[in-house]
Structure 1
């Protein structure tokens, strides 16, 4: 079981970094350019920004570069797999977060208001979908990632709130 937990965290780490980085380094112009959907509501809202998307994908991908270096140090063979996977996981995480924002706007949940499970799992589900393009993972690993993500996401949000990075603890 310990190996599944470790391999799951190693796999999803770029998505976690991407999600956190988008929050920490976000702000500025919204990705939807203040556009409205045909239902009269903002497409994504102010929380999904160009800067957040850029830095999320950048730092998530840099995480993959570090993973490649660590892999080389321990196994003496260089692979770009972690870099490509990290980009896909990071892009998937940012995309998933945007999908979550889109859904929240459609069901009248304001920015910053909680949407249990959607807030915690939107980014990781899409990260796994995008990452599986080149590296599918087992059902057990997916289950571990989903369970861990709920707890890690809540803990991370509480820490970000205490550090005054976020306005709300969720």
Structure 2
């Protein structure tokens, strides 16, 4: 990737690569609800392990969406197995990154739905990239581009979800 100029090909490539993670992350909101992933566990600090925002149903749905998107990408590229594995790793990784972000927010005494700038936008990216790293390690310039694009996409998606009534806050 040319580090002097970000071109549209670079942007499209990283969005395409991260699509299973992006779609898995959105799926948690759309298909979530039900029993919390942390099963209601409260730690010695009096706060929940993760909280009600991360659910079994959202995690399962998001992982399946990541698998589906990755499989379609694999079909398009000629390797469904590689696409499926990449999709699962990115999708599940995104959801585990989001759960880790919720864990950190609880330890920092930040309540569910309250903002934690940068953490809220990038926890799922970190989880996805960490989980997919045994299969694929991206160059630093692509990771930086993913971070920049994700900040814009995440904020835009949250504003839209707020405007259509899917979220209570715009961030």
- Give, in whole Å, the separation in 1 of the partners of 2:10 and 2:131: 20
Q: Normalising by structure 2, what TM-score?
A: 0.93
Deviation of 1:79 after TM superposition, in Å, equals: 4.1
Q: Does 1:26 align with 2:25?
A: no
Aligned to 2:84: 83
| 8 A contact 1:4–1:140 mirrored in 2 | no
- Give, in whole Å, the separation in 2 of the partners of 1:81 and 1:5: 22
Query: Alignment length, in residue pairs?
Result: 165
Q: Structure 1: which 5+ residue stretches go unaligned?
A: 73-77
Q: Between 147-156 and 127-136, report the one with greater CA deviation.
A: 127-136
Q: Structure 2: which 5+ residue stretches go unaligned?
A: 1-6
Residue aligned with 1:80, SS: helix
Q: Does 1:61 align with 2:67?
A: yes
Residue aligned with 2:126, SS: helix
Match of 1:37 among 29, 40, 43: 43
Task: Kindly provide the CA deviation profile for residues 93-130 of structure 1, in whole angstroms up to 9, marking residues without a partner as x.
Answer: 00000000001101111100111000000000110111
Task: Kindly provide the CA deviation profile for residues 7-56 of structure 1, in whole angstroms up to 9, marking residues without a partner as x.
Answer: 21111110000000011110111111111112221000110000110101
- Give, in whole Å, the separation in 2 of the partners of 1:89 and 1:23: 17
Q: Does 1:141 align with 2:142?
A: yes
Aligned to 2:3: none
